[in-house]
């Protein structure tokens, strides 16, 4: 079999293992880094990339997102997590289909590739269709099915079967670029039985666990009321925690919980933009790092961020720790860049394959173009220039598994315009489906003798008549719904009075 070779020539190579800067070249052979040096023979190379004026980095690792939620970008802003999730996202998700999740995942893949992310960890629904999008786009992924049972035995069995089916069908798919974890949504949506089953299954299948933990103050209060324990204390008490657990958010942590996380070698995914936007709080990242706890970076879904630009996320993470601690040395540019690369790889158990620039590792690499106004002059340390000055638009080339996914800002595997067109159509259809659901619910109410009381109660619960504060109806044409109610009142008044 003939080797496929790519030479990245004359780059500024920055390795997050030691942050030494080397001006040199790198040879890719098939899917791996084959050679790093200053004088690599290019006579028999299939493709040469001129990287003068560009920084060569490992591809970024997004340790927590919900890729298909790109369809919900901007759908429910300026809300608390509880209102955002219960009154907006979950009702809209009720209308999702496999095709919508596939289109949303393709849209997300475009954004990841164009901003330099080559690996992401995802928890959502219709994950086999997300896997299909991953395979087509060429990126690397760790996928888990979001399991929610709320204590229902039948639901628990269904959720477990879904995640096992995902593992058996998709783990190792796409030439090994896809791995599957188990994904109990959170301690407040997954029962103790489900959490204990997941712990056993992760051991049985030798894979990881992806879960939301301690995202809001309300979650802490609810856990204390339900279990007389904080979330990490509760998970520790049932034997759930271990080095294969990735805990997303981890905002509200006590000193005892930090000790629990460290003792169990739990990995943390920090999502600063989402935590800020939903006013969830500020995670104690510097304390975690000081305690030698492995922390990676995540964007969360685009519906609560609202983008997937990991460079922007890393910058926000660094600045947030500095201002929160009133310490300009908190979360330095080197520490932040490590979070986005080698530490992110470690969070997902992939540090032997990706996350740094070493011979024998997978060729997941990006080039950042320094010939841009926001990158000139490059007089500071290279990591500083990346974290504090750059953004995703400075990424010129993205390579994953030795294949070029973007070069000179042009995608090679996906049709951008066609995907944008399908995504716009999908969200309009989802909005229309939600509107129809509301109208059907109203018509059902108006068919009952006590319709006046029921309608008043329905509108009160859903804040229907408060357009500026409206949550569940914010993404619906509120005027149309109200007109429908008025019309129903007129048409049914004589019949039901």
Residue by residue, DSSP assigns 148-190 as --TT-HHHHHHHHHHHHHHHHHHTTTTTTTEEE-BEE--TTTS
Residue 214 clears pLDDT 80, i.e. is over it: yes
Q: b/e for 369-408, b at 16 or more Cβ within 10 A?
A: bbeeeebeebeebbbbbbbbbbbbebbbbbbbbbbbbbee
pLDDT tens track for 254-269: 999 999 999 999 999 9
The DSSP secondary-structure symbol of 284 reads: -
What is the helix (H) or strand (E) element at residue 336, kind and residue range?
A: helix 333-340
Which has more confidence, 269 or 472?
269
| 427: Cα separation from own chain's centroid | 19
CB 286 within 8 A of CB 272: no
Nearest-angstrom CA–CA distance, 83 and 95 = 18
pLDDT for 8 equals: 98
Strands 410-411 and 403-407, bridge-based pairing: antiparallel
Q: Are 37 and 94 in contact (CB under 8 A)?
A: no
pLDDT tens-digit map of 386-445: 999 999 999 999 999 999 999 999 999 999 999 999 999 999 898 887 777 766 776 777
Please determine, for residue 10, whether its predicted confidence score (pLDDT) is greater than 70: yes
Q: How far is CA 400 from its chain centroid? A: 18
Three-class secondary structure of residue 52 per DSSP: coil
CA distances from residue 455 to 441, 462, 480, 489, 493 in whole angstroms, order as listed:
10, 11, 16, 10, 13
Higher-scoring residue by pLDDT: 19, 89: 19
Q: b/e map of 226-236 (b: 16 or more CB within 10 Å)? A: ebebbbbbbbb
Q: How open is the CA angle 321-323-329, to the nearest 5 degrees?
A: 65
Helices (H), 94-152: 98-114, 127-137
User: Are 401 and 31 a contacting pair, CB within 8 Å?
Assistant: yes
Rounded to an integer, what distance in angstroms lies between the CA atom of residue 39 and that of residue 319? 39
Half-sphere exposure of 10 (CA within 13 A, CB side): 7
Average pLDDT, the chain: 90
């Amino acid at each position: 079999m003939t080797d496929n070779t790519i030479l990245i020539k004359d780059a500024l190579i920055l390795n997050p293992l030691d942050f030494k800067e080397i001006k040199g070249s790198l040879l890719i052979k098939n899917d791996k880094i084959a050679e790093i040096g200053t004088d690599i023979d290019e006579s028999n190379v299939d493709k040469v990339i001129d990287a003068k004026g560009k920084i060569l980095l490992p591809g970024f690792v997004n340790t927590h997102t919900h890729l298909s939620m790109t369809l919900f970008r901007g759908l429910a802003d300026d809300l608390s997590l509880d209102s955002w999730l219960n009154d907006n996202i979950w009702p809209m998700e009720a209308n999702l289909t496999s095709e919508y999740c596939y289109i949303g995942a393709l849209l997300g893949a475009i954004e990841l590739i164009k901003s330099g992310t080559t690996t992401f960890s995802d928890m959502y629904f219709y994950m086999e269709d997300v896997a299909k999008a991953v395979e087509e786009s060429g990126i690397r992924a760790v996928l888990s099915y979001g399991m929610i049972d709320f204590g229902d035995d039948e639901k628990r069995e269904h959720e477990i079967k879904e995640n096992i089916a995902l593992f058996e069908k998709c783990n190792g798919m796409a030439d090994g670029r896809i791995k599957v974890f188990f994904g109990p949504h959170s301690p407040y949506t997954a029962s103790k039985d489900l959490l204990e089953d997941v712990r056993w299954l992760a051991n049985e299948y030798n894979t990881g666990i992806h879960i939301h933990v301690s995202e809001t103050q309300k979650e802490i209060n609810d856990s204390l009321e339900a279990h007389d324990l904080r979330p990490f204390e509760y998970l520790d008490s049932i034997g759930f925690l271990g080095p294969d657990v990735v805990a997303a958010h981890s905002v509200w942590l006590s000193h005892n919980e930090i000790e629990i996380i460290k003792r169990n070698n739990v990995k943390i995914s920090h999502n600063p933009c989402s935590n800020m936007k939903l006013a969830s709080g500020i995670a104690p990242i510097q304390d975690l790092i000081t305690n030698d706890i492995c922390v990676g970076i995540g964007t969360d879904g685009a519906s609560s961020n609202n983008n997937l630009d990991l460079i922007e996320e890393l910058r926000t993470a660094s600045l947030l720790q500095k201002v929160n601690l009133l310490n300009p040395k908190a979360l330095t540019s080197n520490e932040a860049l490590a979070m986005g690369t080698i530490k992110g790889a470690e969070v997902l158990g992939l540090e032997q394959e990706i996350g740094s620039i070493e011979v024998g590792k997978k060729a997941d690499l990006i080039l950042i173009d320094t010939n841009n106004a926001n990158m000139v002059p490059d007089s500071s340390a290279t990591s500083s220039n990346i974290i504090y000055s750059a953004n995703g638009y400075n990424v010129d080339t993205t390579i994953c598994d030795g294949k070029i996914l973007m070069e000179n800002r042009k995608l090679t595997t996906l049709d951008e315009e066609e995907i944008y067109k399908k995504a716009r159509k999908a969200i309009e259809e989802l909005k229309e489906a939600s509107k129809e659901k509301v109208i059907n619910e109203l018509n059902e109410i108006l068919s009952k003798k006590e319709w006046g009381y029921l309608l008043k109660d329905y509108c009160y619960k859903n804040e229907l008549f408060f357009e500026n504060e409206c949550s569940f109806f914010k993404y619906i044409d509120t005027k149309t719904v109200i007109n429908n109610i008025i019309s129903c009142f007129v048409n049914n008044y004589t019949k039901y009075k």
